[in-house]
Structures are given as C-alpha cells and as structure tokens.
Structure 1
Amino acid sequence: MRSSIFISVVISLLALTASPSHAAIRFAHVKAANNDILLIEGAFEATDRPDKLETEIKSSIPKFVAFNSLGGDGDAAIGYGRAIRRLKLLTLQVSGSKCEAACLLAFVGGTQRFAEDSSMVVDRTLLSSGTPGQQTSSDKYKSYFTEMGLDPSFLAFVTGLADGDRRVLSLIDMAGFGLVTGQPTPYVAPTAEETVASEEVPSAALNEAALQFFQDMQRTWSTNEGMSFLASNYGDSVLYYGSQRSKADVLQEKQQFAIRWPMRIYAVRSGTAHAACFDICTIFAVVDWYTYSPARKKSSSGAVNAVMTWDPTTHKILAENGKITTNDKSVAGPDRIIRRWLTDSSACSLSYSQDACNSQALLLTQLGNSGWCRKPDATWGPCTPQ
C-alpha cells in the first residue's frame, strides 16, 4: 500500500517544537519519505553569513529549503537568497510555519519556489535594514527582485503599504507577483515493487504538456465545445476556488455561466504562463477575457491571475482558482482582446516570438468567432454579414 505524506504536515509539526522564530538563525534537517528539507529558523541578523548555509548542506543536500522566520535584517536575508540561488536549491513555504517580512528575500532565492496559500506575510519592514526606523533605498531591492525573476509590481505593492499594514498573501497573490513557481503537492512513497525514481525532478516534457492543456482549456472554453471539454477533463472531485466540490456541482455552475455569457474569449497572455510538474502539475498564467450576451446586450472584460492543478497521468483537472486583477468599466466591445492582438502582432513582426505569433493567430480567430473583424483600413469593428 502506498502512503500519502504531505510535506506541510511534517513542517507544521516541527514548527510546533522549534525554537522561536525571532531567535537567531539556526538550521534543522527534516526527512519526509525521500524529501530532505532544510528548515531555516529564526531572525536574520546583520552579522549572519550565508556561507553557514553552504557548510550546512555539504553533508546532505536538501530537496527543499523551508523557513520559520519573522524576518530581520534585509541585507542578511538577501545574502541567504543569493546563496540559495547559487546552490541551485528549491524553496518551500507552508502554512504551518512562518515566513514574514525579510524572510521573503531569502525565500525568493529558490530556483523553483513552492508555497501554500496564506503562508507568507508582507509589511513594509521587508524593505528595512533591520535597524528600527531605518529604511534603505529601494534601488537594491528592485535590482534583487529583478535578479530573482519577480514581477515589478511586487516592489510597488510593498512600498505602497502603510506602516503597520500586514498583508497575508494568498497563493494567487504570490503567483501574480512571481513569488512562486508552483504549489506543494502530496508526496507518494513508492512500494518496494515499484521502480519509480526516488529523485523527483521537474519534467520539461510534462511542463510543456501541462501548458498545452491549459491553453486548450482556455481556447475551448471560448467556443461551444467548452462544456464538453470540461465534462471530459474535470476530476470527480475538484478543489474549486477554495472549496472541495463534486464534478457535477462545478459543471452546473459552469453551465449557468455559459448560458449567461454565450459569447466568450479567454486568452492566456503571452509570456505569463508557466508550469511546475512533479507528480502533478501546477500551472499559473494571466488570462484576459471578454464576454458578451446578445440577449441582454451586456458585456464584460478584464484580467485574472489563474491557477490550475492538473494530473498528467489521468489528464484530469484537480483544482482551479483565480483572482481578478482588472475588471474593465463601461465595456462596449472586446477592446482588451483587440489590444492584446495588436501587442502580439507587433511582437510577432518585430521579434518573431513564436508565442506571440501563435497568440496573434488564435486571437484573430476568436475575435472573428465573436463577430469582430479587422477592416481594410486596419480598424476593428463588427463583422459585415456576407
């Protein structure tokens, strides 16, 4: 029999007996099945040297680095983050332990970053040197976030917080800011009879398959075949926007939406989609949408940070979530999608980006299916009936 072990359970239990997260940095090694985890606990201090991390892993290289820390000195945390990146380690954060303020600077050093919902807390002390009342220039943080692949909006978000304003980040927030590249999943230990490799490595082939599935899902949901596609590809039980629901329940909600908005365009924004596959796949992307109801003469459009969990073995959707980041006002037509087409058209012509070229062609088809065409004078408008 195979035993499912959540990494989060192990870290949570350890955190209960760990030293206080405001004490000086210390290390603890945790082993969960074949997942070796190095837990970094305590507050980062100005005197902390990241070479302590290199010494710590010489005898045993962990699969993940996790944290139980309320923050501390930003420069020290950045030093740890760069050491983690140099050592090509993965970082993991779960809701059972803390990663607050400057701790995030160390966390983002991971070559791949995994986190559970609400496992990180941000406030303005993230940009503090660790000395009370002393704020440092944002230039070094901007440079560091760029180096680690975060979205520029993250720095703007932190600097926009008022003193004392603490924000618990949802998984969707983390994905939008680029803080995470995936989500922790249950680890299933192989039996003695199985020959599954013990070292899990992200699969490039699976990542590509997951991205293609996600693209197909958005494209098909924009057509009359959308309900059929979902009926074939949802799991029997789906973690749908935070609630575990039956497939039938989710499909009923989707059907009601499709009736309300019979014309739909859902398009993955070029360059935003990425997947992380181990035993299952997590896909993140920004999706632009436009919906229209001819009967009600109503339309809507906007953008959403979308997350989907997909089983590459069964090809079933296990979880779906999203957070609307933009909801356009006074929508008269698919202006957002047309702007996307223009952007992708330029990128395709100037840089020959295959991603942009593919997106341009798909958007042209989707706009045409929704009754919008490009005119001879290069403007857009309702298609002229033939």
Structure 2
Amino acid sequence: MTAEIMTYLIDMDVDPKLLQLSLSVPSDDMRYLTASEMRSYRVISGDISNLPNQIATSKAAPTEIPAAGEGTGAKSAEMVPVPASTEQKALAFMTAYHDAWSMENESALQFMDRAYGDVVEFYGKATPKAGVIDEKRRFAMRWPTRAYSVKPGSEHVSCATTCRVDGVVDWYAKRGVGDRVSSGSAEFSLVWNPSNERIVSETGKVIETDKGVSQPVRLISQWHQENLHCRGSSGNSAETLAACDRRETIGEKLESVSWCYGREGEYGYQLEWHPCDSRSSKSNVAATATEQVASVLQPKPADYPSRARMKGKTVLPDFKKRDRDFNSFRTRIREGMKQGPNFAGHYSVIQFGCGTGCSGVVVADNQTGRPDRFPRGGEENMYLDLQFQVDSRLLAAQWLEYGTNRCVIEFFDYDRQTWKVVSKVDVGGADACYRSISNNIR
C-alpha cells in the first residue's frame, strides 16, 4: 500500500517527502500544512489565492543513468547511439546496482547513497533514506567481501510512471573476520522512478542457500555457462558478444573476492577457479592490501559495574516542561524507553538517524524519566557505532574523524550522570568504520 501511495504522489508531481512527514505524526495527533509548506511539497504552486487557475504541467525529464563502475562497463561505445527506452534504462540501473554492491564498501555505499529516494518502501515498511543506508552500511560492515550477479534471463521489467524490475541474483559473501561464507540465490524486486533515477521501493527473499560451501559456487557456475556460450557459439552475433561480456564481468567479480582462474604455466585444460595465491593469474583486478585489525587493550565491562538496578516501572520524560529540550525526539525516546533499560542498570541508550551516515544518541534514565545527551554524534562524528550492555557503565563509541580521515574508538564510563573518557584508539582509515567495533578490536 505504501508503494502505491508513493507512486501516486510521484504521478501527481507531489514531493514524496510528504509521506515521510505524515508518518512522523502520531496517529492520535493532527498536523496542518501551511501555505508555504504546501508549495514546498508541491501540493500547490504559486499563490494559493490563484489556485483555481493553476494547472501543473511540468515533468522532470529523465537524465543519464548512474555509471556501473570500471570493469563492468558496456562495450557499445563504437555503436551508433540509439535512444534507450525507459525499460532499458531500468534494466541498466538494476545491473549497475548489483555491480556497485559487489565493490568495496566505500564505493558501494557511495552508489547506494545516490540510488535511493528520500523515502523508500523498504521490505514492506516506509523508511527514510538514512535508515536504508544505515541498514546497507551495517550489512557491508559484517560482509565486506561480496559478489552479486543477476541470473541472465531472470530479469523482468514493466514501466508506467515508475518501473518495476524483478529478477534472481546469485551471491557470495565473506565475513570481515573469520572464515564464515554465505552463498545462495535470492529474488529481488526494485521499483525505480525514471524521472529522478531513484529507488522508491525494494523487497526480496532468499530462495536457496548453499550449506557448508567455502567457494562462490553459483558465480563460478554462471561463468562456465557464459564461457560455453561465448566460445561455443559461431560468429559475432549480439547474443554471443553479450555472453562474452557477461563472462568477463563475472570473472572480474570473482577476482575481486580473491578467486582466480588458472595459474602461471598451466595449459587450457588445466585451468580452474581457485583461491588466489602467488602463482595465480589475475588478469583484471589488482591485488589490494588489507588493513590489519588493530590490537587494542579493551577495557573490561566487568571493571565498570552498574551502580544500581532498575526498580519499578519505567518513568517517561516530561516533554512539556522539564524535558522540553528533547521534545523533537519524543517519539523515538518513548519507544526506546518502553523496551526497558539496556545500559548501566536503569538507562536506555537510544540512537536515531539524522542523515546519511549521521546519527544522534540520547541516554534516558528509566528510573527518573530524565533524558541526557551523549557527547558524540551528529555530523562531527559520522558512522557512529556503539557497544554497551545493561550490567556495565562502560560504553564504546566508534566514529570517523573527518579532519584526519581516521576511524577511532573511544571508551566511556558513564558514572553518576557524567561521561568520562577512559581511552581512545585509532583503528585505521575510513574503511575501518565500515566494520563493527567487535571486528576492529581484539
């Protein structure tokens, strides 16, 4: 239903942010738009007194689709340019999307930041863009090695005001720490707005997983199928050339996750895909150095025990008087506190988004109902990640220090409503902040 509403708003040339605003209003409350807000959200245009004489006729023209990135590009530069249909643009965007998600974290997340609209129906729930990107970032931190390849022939696209692209994608992913591997196939469905080239809806489901495997079996299978079509077909037909292009693209993705085809000195019949080593033939992807996980002397939560336990029921803040400075975040704070204490005995740590990579934190006392601000967060401390537990005053915060482009972890002791810095450590470059705190320290 949410996707239908968003499609209708787009069709009526109304800013879909209006849906985000409406969902932020409690169900038992009412919110009226001012005349300036109605113009801002394009509910009306011009002077409201002249509304009967106004007819909206403008529509944004489609622009160029996002680039798929080096190594996956089209080989059609020598062909005579032919205007692409909306359906072709939607399919090209879908290909670029999965190509980008197969890149290293920084490039992948930069693409995702450009790919989504301000509000997205994300797996059945209307979600602000910041929430979608945060979810993608958390996944990328857990699985930094990824390769995704859509099964040829599984794609289906239909376009009206928006385009819906369905298909099946094979994936291979590996955890940043340890040897855990994930491999399988999933159905996906993207709704794409061609007027601004942004995703307005995303959903999908896993249909198969490979148990006990350590190699990208599905992508290797795809590569062999395309290799057979490429080498076994005759002539330079469009189908043959497309199969050869797909083979090269899949091969580059396999090399990017450290799988190589053949070794130096081997003959054609001996060539097989294998984990890359010193004798491997890596044709397209340069080897990249992996930054070492920092060895950090981590303070122990047990050394900072909670001073008191929760007694009685949670007391909510007084947003009308004493705690009115926190009134803008009242819904998030209430929802967080209703779940009960999660930190230092009787406190609730509540983190919420404030834009792409940006988040704020409130620590509320469930015993007294008094909220307090955490000293880190906002645009000064991007990609903020927290680690804490209910029986300890110790809290770890990881964030990106833009001045030096370094990822740091700070340990805090929240003692008698005062934040005391226990220690601070540099854990690496910006990419380190795409990993979780537990993966960055040992």
TM-score, normalising length from structure 1? 0.48
Comparing both structures, which one devotes a greater share of its residues to helix? 1
TM-score by structure 2 length?
A: 0.42
